[in-house]
Amino acid sequence: MSSVIILDFGSQYTQLIARRVRELGVYSEILPYHTPFEKLQLLNPQALIFSGGPASVYDKFAPMPDKRLFSLRKPILGICYGLQAIAKHFGGKVQNAKRREFGRAKITIARNGSSNQLFAGVDDSEVWMSHGDKVTQLPSGFRVTARSENSELCAVEMISETDRIFGLQFHPEVHHTEQGKKILSNFLFEIAGLKADWSPKNFIESEIDKVRQMVGKQKVICAISGGVDSTVAATLVSQAIGKNLRCVFVDNGLLRKNEAKEVRTALGTLNLNLNVVDASSLFLSRLHRVVDPEKKRRIIGRTFIEVFESELKHETFLVQGTLYPDVIESVSVNGPSQTIKTHHNVGGLPKRMKLKLIEPLRELFKDEVRQVGKLLHVPDAILKRHPFPGPGLAVRVLGAVTKERCDVLREADAIFISELKTHGLYDKTWQAFAVLLPIQSVGVMGDNRTYENVIALRAVNSVDGMTADWTPLPNDFLALVSNRIINEVRGVNRVVYDVSSKPPATIEWE
C-alpha cells in the first residue's frame, strides 16, 4: 500500500495534512520530527512531508530534521516551517519577516518555461499563510516556483537526478487555500508516483481488528452523548465486541433543551445497550462559582470519569469519541505543538483512572467521522447533528454556571436552532449555537428600564473544525430570531451576532 510519512514540527495543522492525504486515497502516518532515522528507513515511505511549526529555525534549540533523511532520495515537501528547515539545511537564509503574514494571500506562479510539476494545472490564486519568518535567500540548486506580495520565495524546488525537494511557505492543507488539494495531489501522484489505495473502509476494518486485539473478552463501557463522535465510536466498538459493550449516557445538567429525551429516541434505532444516569446535581455543584474555562473543563472531565467509574460493573475499558481537533488543541501529541485549550476528554482527564481508554476516532476529523458513520449505517439524524462540546453548556455559559443561567441559554438556543430548521438553514450551516455572555446591558421594555442578559448567536461553516468562517445568515432571519429570544426568554434584552472566523477566534467561546 502507498504510504507517506508526515514529520510533525508542532503545527496546529499537522493532522490536517494527513487528512488531506487520506482524502486523496493515500495512507499517511504522523511521526515526531525526532523519530529515529532507522525507524523511518524500516517504514520505507514513498514520500515525506515536513509540517509547519511555531519555532524559528534560527533559534538555539530549533527542531530540525535528521540530515540523513535527505539521503533517502525520497520526494520531500516542506510546508511553512518545513520549507524554512529545508532552506537552512541546504545553506539558504531564513529571517524574521518585517511584516507577518496571517490569513489569505495571493500567489503568482512562476511560468518560466520549465515544467513546474507541483503547480501543474494550478492557477494564480488565494492561499492561507501563517508565518512570522520567511526564506530570504535561496539555497544553491533551488529555484522559485511561486511568489506572494510578502514572500518573494513563497514556493521553491530542487530537482536533480537524485533529489526531488519542494517547499511551500503557505499551507496547502488548509481549506482556505483554493487549490491546495490539487497541489498535494500533484506531489503525491505526479511527483512521488503513489497510488490511491486507502479509504475509510480500510480504517474501519483496521480499527475493529485493533479493538478486538486490545479488549479480547473483557467488558467495555462507552461514554455516549448522542452526538456524531461518541455514537460512531460506540457503533464501531459494538461491531468489534458485540454485547460486551455497555453505553452510558450522563445527564450532567449542561444539555440543550429536551436533549436527554431526544438522545434516547435516536440511539434506540441502533440497538445499543444504553443506561441513562442523572448526575446533574453533582456537576452543577462542582461548577459552583467556577468561571475559568480551563477549570470548568478539568472539573467536568474528572467528574465524568468518576460517574463512569461509579457505574462500573465488570468493565475495564472506556470508549470515548475523541477526535484529533480535540487532541491537537489540548496537548502536544506528535511534536512541539502548543496547547490552545483543554478539551474535557483529553487534557481534562485525571492522571490516574481505573479505566483504560479506547479512542478509535482519535486520529480523525469530523467529516471523516461522518464518512465512517455512514459506512456503519448510523442514521442521518445523528450524523447531520451539529457538533456539541463535551462540556456542554458549561462552555457556552460564560462566567458562573448555574441551573438558572443554563435554563436561559437553553431557551434561547432552542429558538435559534428551531428557526434554522424551519427556514432550511440548519443543514447549510456546519455549527450553530447561542452563548450567554457574562455581562448585562441596559434596555427598554414597556417604557421601563431593564438591565438584563446578552445572548450571542454563533454560526460557522467548516469542513474539519480546524478552520471556520462565520456564516452570513440573512439579516431578516437574524432579526426574527433576535425578536423571538428577547420576547420569549425572560432575562434577555439584547442579542448580538458573532462575525469572527477561526483563526484567530475559536469556534466555541470558551
pLDDT at 195 (0 to 100): 93
Q: Which strands form 93-109's sheet, in the order they lie side by side?
A: 27-32, 3-8, 47-50, 76-79, 164-168, 155-159, 143-148, 93-109, 125-137
Query: Catalytic residue at 101?
Result: no
Q: pLDDT of 487-510, one tens digit each?
A: 999 999 999 999 999 988 999 999
Give 42's pLDDT tier (boundaries 50, 70, 90).
Answer: very high
Q: What is the pLDDT of residue 37?
A: 95
Q: How confident is the model at residue 390 (pLDDT cuts 50, 70, 90)?
A: confident
Specify the pTM. Answer: 0.65
Least confident of 31-35, 90-94, 303-307: 303-307
pLDDT(201) > 50: yes
Active-site option among 171, 175, 343, 344? 171
Q: Which amino acid is at 43?
A: L
The pLDDT value given to residue 456? 98
User: How many other C-beta atoms are found inside a 10 Å radius of the C-beta of residue 93?
Assistant: 16
Q: How high is the pLDDT of residue 373?
A: 95
For the cut 90, the answer to whether the pLDDT of residue 348 exceeds it is: no
150-178 tens-digit pLDDT: 888 999 999 888 889 999 999 999 988 99
Q: Between 473 and 13, where is the model more confident?
A: 473
Q: What pLDDT, on the 0 to 100 scale, is given for residue 352?
A: 54
Q: What is the pLDDT of residue 332?
A: 45
Cα–Cα distance measured from residue 182 to residue 411, given in angstroms and rounded to the nearest whole number: 45
Cα angle at 180 between 44 and 429, to 5 degrees? 120
Q: What is the pLDDT of residue 261?
A: 87
CA count, 13 A, side-chain hemisphere, 299: 20
Report residue 331's pLDDT band, with 50, 70 and 90 as the boundaries.
very low
pLDDT, residue 344, reads 44
Q: State the average pLDDT for the chain.
A: 89
What are the residues whose beta carbons fall under 8 Å from the beta carbon of 429, sequence distance 6 or more?
386, 420, 459, 460, 461, 471, 473
Contact, 460 vs 470, CB < 8 A?
Answer: yes
pLDDT of residue 12: 81
**What pLDDT sits at residue 329?**
53
- Is 4 a residue whose pLDDT tops 60? yes
Q: What is the pLDDT of residue 151?
A: 85
Residue (of 124, 137, 134, 182) closest to 154 by Cα position: 134
Identify whether 38 is a catalytic site residue.
no
Q: Which of 80, 222, 247, 406 is catalytic?
A: 80
**Catalytic residue from among 173, 329, 359, 363:** 173
- Residue 238: the pLDDT is 93
Whether 173 is a known active-site residue: answer yes
Give pLDDT, residue 150.
83
